Chains A and B, each alone.
Chain A
Amino acid sequence: MALLEVNDLKTSFRTEDGFVGAVDGVSFSIEKGQTLGIVGESGSGKSVTCLTIMGLNAARNTISSGEALWKGRNLLTMKPKELREIRGNEISMIFQDPMTSLNPVHTIGRQLEEAILLHRDVTKKVARARSLELLKAVGIPRAEQRIDDYPHQFSGGMRQRVMIAMALINDPDLLIADEPTTALDVTTQAQILSLMKRLQEDFGSAIIMITHDLGVVAEIADDVEVMYAANVVEQAEVHDLFNRPQHPYTWGLMGSLPRLEADVDRLTQIPGQPPSLLRPPSGCRFHPRCPYVMEVCKTTFPGLEPARNDPDHLQRCWLDQETKDREAAKLLAATMAEAH
């Protein structure tokens, strides 16, 4: 049994202008010790997918369907009390902005201890010792003194380390990281990514890494999902995705990336803007921006089908296999041209 199995997850928000289908039929599963990368641009539904799994959407205006089986139990139908026992304990989450997700009026030590005391029947002393241990594990210098500091006394990178310490404090089986390095500088990002890799080896947690950065995914993920306008458009093992991408949107993303390892005079750009989810385009949602658009794309929504008969590589596109293989090879040749 997979650690987490998500089947046909749908989430829509009620707004003044009508329903916005933020996630529309997402399925994936993740095993212990694995890293799943979810890539997509803003508004593609990658964060909402995870917020739904964690039960963190405002109940008032959210409608969700499908299932998210955590060790066989559906998280979506769980009572709030049961969910609270899992959240922050078996599944924990790291948010993008470490400044707004820590409480500014409590010391970080107190916030870390709270996370333990909520889920474990231990004394404050034990909780404090455990907090200190984690702060050291994530590489906060002079942890003994800094445990009594407030969030504003830490730099961005250090705050993100505190967030990671808090997320790991109860030895979670699954860590959901929502753009954990987006707000950070490259050198700090490298520190945080290598820290997450090392902690995964030590603790054996599974990680869901949400990011818009294909580079981060290439470095850390085992499997990747590419999301566009609330749908998964491609899903594959990481090497397979980068070597044989099968969807025009994935090609566009890879082509629009300026790279250190290859010289391109002009970036391939995806024309236009991501569509509004209030009134998504008919047929394939990518068709208004797709350079390979055909008649069928405008009318019929493509299913998530195996590419090249490989059941582990799924894609949502009507193009024939021959064209896809040719375009993927062309893209790969262009980006590898100057690789050393």
Chain B
Amino acid sequence: MEATQVSNGPQPTGDELLIVEDVKKHFPITRGVIFQKEVASVKAVDGVSFSVKAGETLGIVGESGCGKSTLARCVMRLLDTTDGKITFDGRDVTKLSRPAMRPIRREMTMIFQDPYASLNPRKRVGFIIGEPLEVHGLGSGPEIKKRVQELLEVVGLNPEHYNRFPHEFSGGQRQRIGVARALAVNPKLIVCDEPVSALDVSVQAQILNLLKDLQDDFGLTYIFIAHDLNVVRHISDRVMVMYLGKVAEVASRDVLYREPKHPYTGALLSAVPIANPELGRKREAIVLEGDVPSPVNPPSGCHFHPRCPRFVEGHCDVEDPPLYPFGAGHVAACHYALERWPMDANEMRRARRATAEQEPEQPLRT
């Protein structure tokens, strides 16, 4: 068994901007008022490793509660990790103090999901976008104003709207303000946490195009978190699928969408509605039963086993699957990876039975 396993995630090659190694974030659940006793913990992120190369976009997908936002906040050091190591641009930032962290905060910024809640309604747009410049001491008043007007232009807003308040803008325009604020300090990495989920489709396309243009112009690196697989496919170079605080699968975009290896990825892909009645109705979705289990008390072995059509008793519920390699940086945490794609739910089950009978002990590898 030992020989077939790989260590967590791909090996670094040197040009990674961000390396995350075995990061865990557990939120304690306490009882009692004065003597707070930890009775359990929510394992929001439970041993995640990945890396992001400079200039690429890593998409992170997963259902709500899978830990993708918590992971983003750990990477940004908005939350302290319980365990693990985060290396940003060659420096270990996991345990840096607040003052030591401050210059690094210039190099990684964040765009938030809700453009209504993430802008201070009582401040003018000029102040909102210019504040990061002021905090980091990047220029005097008139310089900041000039820079803010440049930024407004870059994100496609009228520089004359410098003195307006957030409520005077529509949802899409507000998200552009959020993008301008994230760009203000010339960051290397921007973490986008569901930046388009709150927007209408036509406006969503505007923001996605803007993000792509900015990446080309400024050589940005993105971590793009979303639950919409279509959006992630459009914008990402590589995609990581998360389930219940763990990595289920990582692969380059084309490989992941064409040849998913993890049954969960397969189920997600088959569940996405296709905007084409002929294609959509021909295909049979793999409908997963039940809900995502609680991260307080996750299932034994593979976290996905209670919902998995390929579940093999005595193996999947006992042994936590490592990330098996499938070539070219493609890894998937499944003992019985999918042999081909597309397949429907019955094929998935049949194939599983055949595999289990042939090689009951050997995890499938290619």
Contacts and interface: CB of A to CB of B under 8 A. Distances in A.
B362 interface: no
Contact of B63 (A141, A187, A339): A187
A253 B291 CA distance: 32
B343 interface: no
B200 A212 contact: yes
A252 interface: yes
B288 interface: yes
A335 B276 contact: yes
Interface in A77-132: none
A139 to B, nearest CB: 8
A158 B229 CA distance: 23
A273 interface: yes
B173 A189 contact: no
Interface in A209-259: 212-219, 238-239, 242, 252-259
Given A185-B63, A267-B208, A260 B291 contact: no
B291 A188 contact: yes
Given A185-B227, A258-B234, A215 B275 contact: yes
A34 interface: no
A321 interface: no
B287 interface: yes
A8 interface: no
Contacts of A42: 200
A170 interface: no
- The binding surface of chain B is classed by DSSP as helix
A209 B295 CA distance: 34
B205 A256 contact: yes
B225 to A, nearest CB: 14
B274 A219 contact: yes
A41 B200 contact: yes
Interface residues of A, number: 49
Contacts of B270: 190
Nearest to A268: B205
B313 interface: no
Contacts of A214: 201, 275
B171 to A, nearest CB: 8
Contacts of B291: 155, 157-158, 188
A155 B63 CA distance: 13
Interface in B221-277: 227-231, 233-235, 257, 267-277
Contact of B269 (A41, A191, A260): A260
B160 interface: no
B279 A339 contact: yes
Nearest to A240: B277
A319 interface: no
A42 B202 CA distance: 11
By CB atoms of chain A within 10 A, which of B172, B212, B269, B274 has the most? B274
Interface of A: 41-42, 141, 155-158, 185-191, 193-194, 212-219, 238-239, 242, 252-261, 264, 266-271, 273-274, 335-336, 339
22 contacts: A141-B290, A185-B63, A187-B288, A190-B271, A214-B275, A218-B277, A219-B274, A219-B280, A242-B277, A253-B201, A257-B201, A257-B205, A258-B205, A259-B230, A260-B233, A260-B274, A261-B276, A267-B205, A269-B202, A269-B209, A271-B206, A339-B276
